């Protein structure tokens, strides 16, 4: 007799507590094994990139010509490069740079893109028309050409790289946000916010933008790998990170030269980059499924 009563009480409690959108998304994300795997791998790589170089007895720019191009051994797990530098430490330093490029460039594109798209979409009319035509014009310029010109024109510092990559990847973000804002700004709660006298900037950034975050987060997680890939490509061309600093792109570039003789110089940094990009994409896909209400089956 007691059993069913307590069961209903528990049920009612759960009903009252309810789940917020984020809790719901989190629950679904946890169910996606690939996404969880991606997240765990990412955490390991990030932690290793941060901590291993600090505690390792080798440094990324420590040249030791006696040990040039040694194969992997207990001493040097990933072997050494032509200048005798430890590839494990260099890969992890490269990971720091690559992840930083990915995150900072994405953050730059996020800030510019969300602000620009939200303003364009919210005000609409001529402002929207003008702002979106500007985006179209920048879109029509060849992306890499633009990056190469900007990098050649300004100094080839790593901060420039963050900025340049961010500055060319905000366009899609702006379009996504604008599209979202167009549909949200006509909803009643925005009208209600205006009716209680909330200022326009507050409406945009407090009421409209948070409601666009689902698709924006998904796009963000997919921008990180694409920025990292661009960085690798630019470094491969010699336009990115300058030696002795390493990034995965420059290491792959150096490794390619010695691929037939010393394959580990290419394989290890290449593998780390591939694993990171895979993990980011898995996580991004998982987030998309978790946040997209159309996918709600359960």
Partner 1 sequence: MAKSNSAILSVRNLQTHFYGDGAVVKAVDGVSFDLKLGETLGIVGESGSGKSVTNLSILRLIPYPPGKIVGGEVIFDNKDLMKIPENEIRRIRGKRIAMIFQDPMTSLNPFMKIGAQLMEITQLHEGLNNSQARKKAIEMLELVGIADASRRIDDYSHQFSGGMRQRVMIAMALSCKPELLIADEPTTALDVTIQAQILELIKGLKEKIGTSVILITHDLGIVAGMTDHTGVMYAGKIVEYAPTEELFSNPHHPYTKGLLKSVPDPLIEQKKLFQIPGLPPDLSNLPKGCPFSPRCSSATTQCQEFPPIRQINAEHYSACWLEN
Q: Which one among 20, 140, 260, 294 touches partner 1, defined by CB under 8 A?
A: 20
Q: How far is the CB of 198 from partner 1 (least distance, A)?
A: 7
Binders of partner 1 among residues 166 to 205 (CB under 8 A) are 186-189, 191-199
Distances (CA, A) of 262 to 95, 191, 283: 21, 65, 33
CB 247 within 8 A of CB 231: yes
Q: For the CB of residue 212, give the shortest distance to partner 1 in the complex, in Å.
A: 10
Question: Which among 17-25, 131-139, 231-239, 242-250 is the span making contact with partner 1, rule CB under 8 A?
Answer: 17-25
Provide the 3-class DSSP secondary structure of residue 14.
Answer: helix
Q: Report d(CA 246, CA 241) in Å as an integer.
A: 7
Smallest separation, CB 211 to partner 1 (Å): 5
Peptide bond between residue 244 and the one before it cis (omega within 30 degrees of 0): yes
Q: Which span (42-50, 151-159, 210-218, 239-247) binds partner 1, by CB under 8 A? A: 210-218
* In the complex, minimum distance from the CB of residue 95 to partner 1, in angstroms, rounded to a whole number: 35
Task: Give the gyration radius of the chain's Cα atoms.
Answer: 24
Selected from 6, 8, 13, 18, the binder of partner 1 by CB under 8 A is 18
81, 87 Cβ separation under 8 angstroms: yes
Cβ neighbors of 220 (< 8 A, separation 6 or more) are 106, 110, 173
Q: Is residue 215 a contact residue for partner 1 (CB under 8 A)?
A: no
Site string for partner 1, 62-81 (x = CB under 8 A): --------------------
Please tell me the count of residues contacting partner 1 according to CB under 8 A.
Answer: 23
Q: Segment 39-58, which members bind partner 1 (CB under 8 A)? A: none
Query: 80 has which bridge partners?
Result: 86
CB of 214 to partner 1, least distance (A): 10
| Cβ 190 to partner 1 shortest distance, Å | 8
Site string for partner 1, 119-138 (x = CB under 8 A): -----xx-------------
274 SS3 class: helix
Give 23 or 157: the residue with its C-beta nearer to partner 1.
Answer: 23
- When the beta carbons of 94 and 214 are compared against partner 1, the nearer one is 214
Residue count of the chain:
298
Q: DSSP letter string over 15-78? A: HHH---HHHHHHHHHHH-HHHHHHHHHHHHHHHHHHHHHHH-SS-TT---GGGTTPPP-SSSTT
| Contact residues for partner 1, defined by CB under 8 A | 18, 20-21, 124-125, 186-189, 191-199, 206-207, 210-211, 213
């Amino acid at each position: 007799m007691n059993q069913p009563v307590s069961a209903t009480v528990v049920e009612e409690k759960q009903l009252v507590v309810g789940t917020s959108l984020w809790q719901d998304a989190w629950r679904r994300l946890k169910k996606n094994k690939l996404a969880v795997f991606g997240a765990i791998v990412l955490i390991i790589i990030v932690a290793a990139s941060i901590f291993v170089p600090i505690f390792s007895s080798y440094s990324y720019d420590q040249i030791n010509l006696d040990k040039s191009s040694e194969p992997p051994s207990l001493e040097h797990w990933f072997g050494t490069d032509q200048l005798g530098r430890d590839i494990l430490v260099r890969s992890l330093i490269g990971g720091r740079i690559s992840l930083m490029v990915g995150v900072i460039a994405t953050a730059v594109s996020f800030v510019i893109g969300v602000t620009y798209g939200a303003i364009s979409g919210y005000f609409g009319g001529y402002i929207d028309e003008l702002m979106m035509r500007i985006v179209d014009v920048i879109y029509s310029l060849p992306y890499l050409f633009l990056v190469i010109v900007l990098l050649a024109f300004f100094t080839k510092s790593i901060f420039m790289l963050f900025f340049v990559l961010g500055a060319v990847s905000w366009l899609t973000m702006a379009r996504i946000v604008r599209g979202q804002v167009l549909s949200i700004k006509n909803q009643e709660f925005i009208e209600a916010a205006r009716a209680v006298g909330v200022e326009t900037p507050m409406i945009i950034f407090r009421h409209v933008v948070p409601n666009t975050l689902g698709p924006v987060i998904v796009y963000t997680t997919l921008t990180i790998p694409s920025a990292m890939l661009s960085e690798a490509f630019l470094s491969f061309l010699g336009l990115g990170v300058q030696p002795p600093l390493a990034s995965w792109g420059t290491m792959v570039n150096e490794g390619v030269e010695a691929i037939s003789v010393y394959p580990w110089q290419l394989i290890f940094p290449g593998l780390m980059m591939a694993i990171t990009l895979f993990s980011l994409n898995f996580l991004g896909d998982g987030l998309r499924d978790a946040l997209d209400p159309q996918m709600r089956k359960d």
